[in-house]
A and B are shown apart, each in its own frame.
Chain A
Amino acid sequence: MTSELVGRAVLGWRVAELVESWPETASARALVLGVPDWPGHRAGQHVDLRLTGPDGYTTERSYSLASPAARSPGGWRLQLVVQRVQDGEVSPYLTDVFAAGNLIEVRGPIGGWFVWSPREGGGAPVLLVAGGSGIVPLMSMIRERRFRRDRTPFRLVYSLRTQADELFADELNRPGIGDGGVETFVVRTREDSPRSGRPAGRISAADLAAWGWPADFAPRCFVCGPTGFVEEVARLLLSLGHSPDDIKTERFGPSGP
């Protein structure tokens, strides 16, 4: 599957079935969708999900793909992770009601810009900066790197409220085979991180200077999370001397109440 084909596919809605799901945290759920005729995707892409009510009312939301672009023996299995937004319309349905065997419409893969593949970039290191559920497409990049046996140096700076909000905690904290060269640093905004001696607080230029790459290395930077978080991190990276051309961002929408 070449990127060109993915980019050119005329996207229609496909019916997917929820194969399995599990809680990732108390407020986020991993969903595995079986999509028989999936064309493949690139790390960083997302899908649109469409819900239709009994009266024909429809609504759509975007969710990033967490899985690498790999077909499993049973056919394509797409993993999403949905964070429940308390007064949200769609996410509480997906985390609390949507059950194995239920069907949903999926459109994708979507996005030709916020994507990473091993061949591009001529070996430049990669900085991933995630806020909350913004980790999802970045996890797809980490998994793609592992799946392709790529050695590009990766650093992940992951900002979350508390330890209990950490998605993919096992996988990030006990890196498996193939994840050598991926370094993870967690920034907690609402509680101290005793191990690193970092007090609670929002991500700062000091965090990015300490845990990112020097601007001289011209790393490719991928920043994803709530809109306010993404704006702030992009501003900090520019202030540290990174080139706007090396910074790719994806906003997940409102920063919350």
Chain B
Amino acid sequence: MSTLQGNDFEDGNVLGGPFAEIFVHDLTAATGRCRFCGLDGPMAAVHVYARAPGVVVRCPGCQEVLMRLVSTPRGLELDASGLAHLSWRL
């Protein structure tokens, strides 16, 4: 039996696949800033809960939700309201 424990997440490295359907640049190579605690860091280090009906991305600093990606029969829905900023060094 699996229960949702503190360790039941993957990290931002897994976001590359699902988010390649949306972003032209690799999300795992980006830096993001949390709107809640201000933490600035690599998107590869966020906490990802991907076995839900969608993908939930949480801040590794304060655990607030940074992004939610849901795939429905009607299409893809992205809520990125927990992110203040995303940047790529190209």
Chain A residues whose C-beta falls within 8 Å of the C-beta of B16 in the assembled complex: 11, 46, 110-112
Report how far A171 CA is from B17 CA in the complex, Å: 30
> How many residues does chain B have at the interface if contact means C-beta atoms less than 8 Å apart?
24
CA distance A107 to B16 in the complex (A): 10
- Chain B neighbourhood of A10, CB < 8 A: 20, 24
How many residues of A are in contact with the other chain, CB < 8 A? 30
Write the B30-72 contact mask toward A (1 if CB under 8 angstroms, else 0). 0000000000001111000000000000000000000000000
Does chain B have a CB within 8 A of A194?
no
What is the chain A residue whose CB lies nearest that of B90?
Answer: A4
A113: B residues at CB distance < 8 A: 12-13, 28-29, 42-44
Q: Do B26 and A227 touch (CB < 8 A)?
A: no
A8, A113, A257, most chain B CB atoms within 10 A: A113
B29–A250 touching, CB < 8 Å: no
Q: Are A249 and B25 in contact (CB under 8 A)?
A: no
Complex contact B45–A111 (CB within 8 A): no
CB distance from A94 to the nearest CB of B (A): 17
B-side contacts of A257, CB under 8 Å: 2
Residues of A within 8 A of B44 (CB): 111, 113-114, 248, 250
Does B14 belong to the interface (CB within 8 Å)?
Answer: yes
CB–CB B17/A62 < 8 A: yes
- Bound Cα distance A248, B29 (Å): 12
The answer on a CB contact under 8 Å between B7 and A111 is no
- Shortest 3 CB-CB distances between A and B: which pairs? A112-B29, A110-B16, A113-B44
Known: A228-B7, A252-B10, A255-B7. 9 other contacts (CB 8 A): A11-B16, A110-B13, A110-B17, A111-B16, A113-B12, A113-B44, A114-B44, A250-B13, A254-B7
Instruction: Report A's interface with B, CB cutoff 8 A.
Output: 4, 7-8, 10-11, 46, 48, 60, 62, 107-108, 110-114, 226-228, 230-231, 248-255, 257
A selection of 15 A-B contacts at a CB cut-off of 8 Å is: A4-B90, A8-B24, A10-B24, A62-B14, A62-B17, A107-B17, A111-B13, A111-B44, A114-B44, A227-B8, A249-B45, A251-B11, A251-B13, A253-B10, A254-B5
